[in-house]
Amino acid sequence: MTMTLNILSVDGAQSGTVELNPAWVEREKGEQAVHDSVVAFRGKLRAGTASTKNRAKIRGSGAKPYRQKGTGRARMGSLKSPILRGGGVAFGPTPRSFAKHMNKKVERLALRRAFTARLDEEAVILVDEFKVDAPKTKKAVEALQKLGVGEDVLVLVDNVTSELELATGNLPSVEVLAAASVNTYLMLLFGRIVITKAALDILGNRIAAGEKAE
């Protein structure tokens, strides 16, 4: 089954259609790959710096707090014990990395499945180009309004210009990315995706089934 997308001009008017390569679409598999990809990406964002001191790291005397026998109390060998106030922490967190390795083939499958899901949701808007006349927030808002996509949008272009970065920098729910950099998490995060024809070709080459990603 072939899929076609309408191409919109910068004014929001339809200027043509494009037929998607079937190798860019995946509906039969990849749900687990999408989950794993999102978990891996979010894991990389975690600092992993939480740290506590166990009994070996606590400063203090190593002497027994009281004699072994004759007190009627349980024997104890150190004031650094986790059961005492000021002692070490038992099984507390230590600095670690939450990063997970993702096979490139699985990552490509996940991105292809996520892109297909957004296509089925009719959340992908294909445009000839996306640019602003001046690096001003007002210009970016006007461009998005002409396309009717609101301000919760991911804009995928072939090359991110400084004008686009400056124009969208003050829009908290708008992200401009190169198609070569988008990942599964960001593909699913935004309400709408605006993608240029040039960026679509780049993305398609990345996610094409049975082909090596560049």
From-to residues of CATH 3.40.1370.10 in the chain? 4-46+100-207
* Phi (first) and psi of residue 38, to 5 degrees: -65, -45
Q: Domain spanning 4-46+100-207 has what CATH number? A: 3.40.1370.10
The model's pTM is 0.83
Angle at the Cα of 170 (from 164 to 171), degrees rounded to 5? 85
What stretch of H or E contains 178? strand 174-178
Q: pLDDT per residue over 63-106, tens digit each? A: 888 999 999 999 999 989 998 888 999 999 999 999 999 999 99
Confidence at 150, pLDDT banded by 50, 70, 90: confident
- Report the C-alpha gap between 180 and 214 in whole angstroms: 9
For position 213, what pLDDT does the model report?
43
Task: Give the residue-averaged pLDDT of 190-202.
Answer: 94
Residues 6+ positions from 183 with CB-CB distance below 8 Å:
37, 41, 107, 111
Confidence at 16, pLDDT banded by 50, 70, 90: confident
* Nearest partner of 130 among 186, 182, 177, judged by Cα: 177
